[in-house]
Amino acid sequence: MLTDLRVHIAPIGFDEPERVTKPLLDYKADKVFLISHLYDHPDAVQRLRSVRAALKKDLSSCNVQLKTTDIWDLFSCLQTYREIFLSETDNHVMVNVSTGSKIIAIAGMLSCMLWNGRPYYAKLNYSQQKEGKPTEVLGVQDLPVYTIQRPSPESLRVISVISKNKGVITKKKLIERLQSDEFGLIPDYGKDASPTAPHSKLRAILNPLEEWSLIRVKSRGRRSEIVLTIQGEQALKIFGDMEVENIPAVANEKFRY
């Protein structure tokens, strides 16, 4: 696999094709993932055709791939971006946050914060719209980006266990799962060890999850249950299991047009 490439992610909406193509030409993109909806609008399809034709003419060396997602669903967009970012970890990933829906623009900015991307915005000359002329792209502006702390792989594995147990699990059952060979997150202290030892280790694992509001612990007498919160469910949607497994190559779709 080639590395150190300039990889772009560019949503396709109802914007002028130049708003997608100009940044790719200016930055001399080596590869671009065009993100489209589900081929259900003739105007969007026509813009996709125009973008492809322009790149074939002016940037023929660029490797053009197509991905589809629900551009009006934040989690669908984030999952698509995550797949791309994690398949391009050896390359420089840039994201156009000025095209497509507002939701996918937000997802693009968040993705850059989560997975170390570089967002940019293609500025338009809106005065031309008032005159009925085609809208010109005035330039491309790099945007500041700040890192968002992500849950650790260990944390993701733990909340995944809770999720697969219908979102609720007792401390005793969770300790047994985390002591298994599959996880090994809590040692088997042996028969002579204090019975509180595995609970102390579990507490160290659960503390950051509670601080992130990914779980809450409910105590009923001697019985304690760990409940996955809405934030925890959303974290799994955003990060999935790809943070802790080998990252497969992104499945690109064939162009239909």
pLDDT band at 40 (very low <50, low <70, confident <90, very high): low
Q: Tell me the mean pLDDT in the region 165-187.
A: 92
- 85 falls in which pLDDT band (50, 70, 90)? very high
Query: What span, in angstroms and rounded, lies between the C-alpha atoms of 16 and 74?
Result: 23
**3 state DSSP class of 127:** helix
- Residue 38's pLDDT is 63
Q: What digits encode the pLDDT tens for the residues 144-157? A: 999 888 888 899 99
Among the listed residues 9, 2, 6, the one whose alpha carbon sits nearest the alpha carbon of residue 36: 9
Instruction: Tell me which of 16-30, 65-79, 217-231 is least confident.
Output: 217-231
Assigned CATH for 153-239:
1.10.10.10
Q: What are phi and psi of 170, to 5 degrees?
A: -80, 155
Beta bridge partners of 142: 120
Q: Are 73 and 104 a contacting pair, CB within 8 Å?
A: no
SS3 label, residue 68: strand
Whether the CB-CB separation of 150 and 243 falls below 8 Å is answered with yes
Statement: residue 243 has pLDDT above 70: no
- How far CA 94 is from CA of 25, 97, 241, in Å, comes to 13, 10, 24
The 3-state DSSP class for residue 242 equals coil
Cα–Cα distance, 10 to 100 (Å, whole number): 8
Lowest mean pLDDT among 20-24, 94-98, 122-126: 122-126
* Helix (DSSP H) and strand (DSSP E) numbers for the chain: 9, 9
pLDDT, greater one: 161 or 46:
161
Asked if 250 and 83 count as a contact pair (C-beta separation under 8 A), the reply is: yes
Residue ranges of the chain assigned to CATH 3.40.50.10770: 6-142
Residue 155 tokens, joined: 């944390």
- 247 against 10, higher pLDDT: 10
Name which of 102-116, 128-142, 188-202, 236-250 the model is least confident about: 236-250
Q: Which CATH architecture has domain 6-142?
A: 3-Layer(aba) Sandwich (3.40)
Query: Within the chain, which residue ranges are assigned CATH 1.10.10.10?
Result: 153-239
DSSP notation for 143-172: ----------HHHHHHHHHHHHTTTEEEHH
